[in-house]
Amino acid sequence: MDNQELIQRVTEKAAKWLTPAYDAQTQQEVRRMLDNPDKTELIESFYKDLEFGTGGLRGIMGAGSNRMNIYTVGAATQGLSNYLNKCFKDLKQISVVVGHDCRNNSRRFAEISADIFSANGIKVYLFEDMRPTPEMSFAIRHLGCQSGIILTASHNPKEYNGYKAYWDDGAQVLAPHDAAIIDEVNRIASASDIRFTGNPSLIESIGAAVDDAYLAQVKGISLDAPAIARHKEMKIVYTPIHGTGMMLIPRALKMWGFENVSTVPEQMVKDGNFPTVVSPNPENAEALSMALALAKQIDAELVMASDPDADRVGIACKDEKGEWVLINGNQTCLMYLYYILTQYKLLGKIKGNEFCVKTIVTTELIKKIADKNHIEMLDCYTGFKWIAREIRIREGQKQYIGGGEESYGFLAEDFVRDKDAVSACCLIAEIAAWAKENGKTLFELLLDIYVEYGFSREFTINVVKPGKSGAEEIKQMMTGYRNRPPQEIGGSPVVLIKDYQALTQTTVADGQTIPLEMPDTSNVLQYFTQEGTKVSVRPSGTEPKIKFYIEVKGEMKSRADYDALNAAAEKKIEAVRASLGI
């Protein structure tokens, strides 16, 4: 399709948004795009429909079929309502939870969604104000609901919003419901198919009572209350980066016994424009800069930052030189599981039926820790819905004790079925207190784990390719890697290739291929080299980028080896980048 054909197609599509089914503000915005001689914005807004995928919706806010607005959100909610009414037709009253974060339009989208659910005869528990995503997951199970949604774009820039759908187990929707819901959403042909006029008698506001129940459960995760009691004055700095964490995390830390928690005042302000950061992503050092400045001022020992919907947490602590360093998602996941397993053994809680979970792109060191402690370690796809699936499969038979992913998400409990920054903040604070109890800093604890299990350095590279042309470029990159796999990476021969789209594992030396046992296919490639380097390549499911996860290994005999190993790893990662052409 040439550019003129594309312009004609999007023009015809946009003209349908100038009908009475769409409000005056939307029509005005569409007309502005149509009248603009530069058709770039029109094309980006209408060249496709914003897809309701297996993770829901996520996109830039604005008018158009490829944007987050009341009509794309409305179509998603109407489709989900139709499916719920089919699935649970014999139930006297179907119910859902609706939550939202701090983003611009999140409350509006939540209220409109509540209206649509209620217009379809579905009981709605609508949070009175923004709340963390994990609390919404908890509320589904706590209130006995069949589904739930949350309006959030997680850590994306301020221009974005999103819509995540959950099932009755409190986890994001998986097969077969995901595809069936997508089919229902795709059947919504126009705005006139959406029931926007709500039934107020079916909408109930919730808040404090659910907060109390959730926080009581979170408190039950604590494994060493005496250590906290002895180090309750440990100085902690926390920031919600303008998001939902401010509603519960300071309170949760106090309930756990931490009495010296300072928050960043400027970032304890609810604001969907995130005025104090470039991006509200706790993976980025810049997002923690104000918290670190406060930590230096008061001589704190731990810094924590949650993302806008409080499902992920980034942390920082002092290294052996007393300088503040960021701890990445792989490292926090290592420490969480190391601590949980250590405490379970000390407390005599190991019964032989425990299991933990990590995603395929997360550090392999976690498996070494699990293996040494005779705990089953499961690998799953990226995304906590897959970790939740493993919990659900084993529910009532085996004991889940923790799971995490490299992208700063961890879940220590099974009463929530998504990553949880509320419990994760409390738990990492407890780990810091426990380390202090044992004469270590948090950083020294991490180094000791490396000494015991081997050094690992992970690095994620995000290659951003926005828009229609970017999507095509990402597709071509994956095709190239799949059809012409690298023979060496960073100077080491590739010995094993895993293709999760083909569900095959190939040994390079003899070309032998065996099946990969996974619940579904996924567009992910993995390469393993002779010296232990692991590279995973996957397009993001929620953002216009392709992600490269690199893990390099080393042997660490003492804490003193860390700097040298880190420097060698940096060089190795540059060599890997050169091999992959990124």
pLDDT 10s digits, 94-118: 999 999 999 999 999 999 999 999 9
For the chain, the average pLDDT equals 95
- Mean pLDDT value of segment 151-174: 95
- Mean pLDDT value of segment 231-253: 98
- Whether the link from the prior residue into 176 is cis, omega within 30° of 0, is yes
What confidence score (pLDDT) does residue 1 get?
Answer: 52
Cβ atoms within 10 A of the Cβ of 204, count? Answer: 14
User: Tokens 């705990």 identify what position?
Assistant: 375
- Whether the link from the prior residue into 132 is cis, omega within 30° of 0, is no
pLDDT band at 355 (very low <50, low <70, confident <90, very high): very high
- Proportion of the chain above pLDDT 70, given as a percent: 99
**Catalytic choice (65, 147, 154, 423):** 154
What confidence score (pLDDT) does residue 306 get?
Answer: 98
List CB contacts of 480: < 8 A, sequence separation 6 or more.
none
pLDDT band at 55 (very low <50, low <70, confident <90, very high): confident
pLDDT band at 49 (very low <50, low <70, confident <90, very high): confident
- CB of 527 within 8 A of CB of 580? no
Q: Is 154 a catalytic residue?
A: yes
In tens, the pLDDT along 182-207 reads 999 989 988 999 999 999 999 999 99
Residue among 99, 175, 106 nearest 140 (CA): 99
Cβ atoms within 10 A of the Cβ of 438, count? Answer: 11
- Proportion of the chain above pLDDT 90, given as a percent: 90
Cα distances from 531 to residues 118, 491, 572, 580, in angstroms, run 58, 9, 11, 17
In tens, the pLDDT along 365-416 reads 999 999 999 999 999 998 899 999 999 999 999 999 999 999 999 999 999 9
What would the DSSP string read from start to end of 218-268? HHTT-S-HHHHHHTTT--EEEE-TTSGGGGTHHHHHHHHT---EEE-GGGS
State which amino acid sits at residue 138: F
Q: Considering just the CA atoms, what is the radius of gyration of the chain in Å?
A: 24
In whole angstroms, give the CA distance from residue 47 to residue 69: 16
In whole angstroms, give the CA distance from residue 406 to residue 163: 23
Residue among 362, 386, 405, 357 nearest 526 (CA): 362
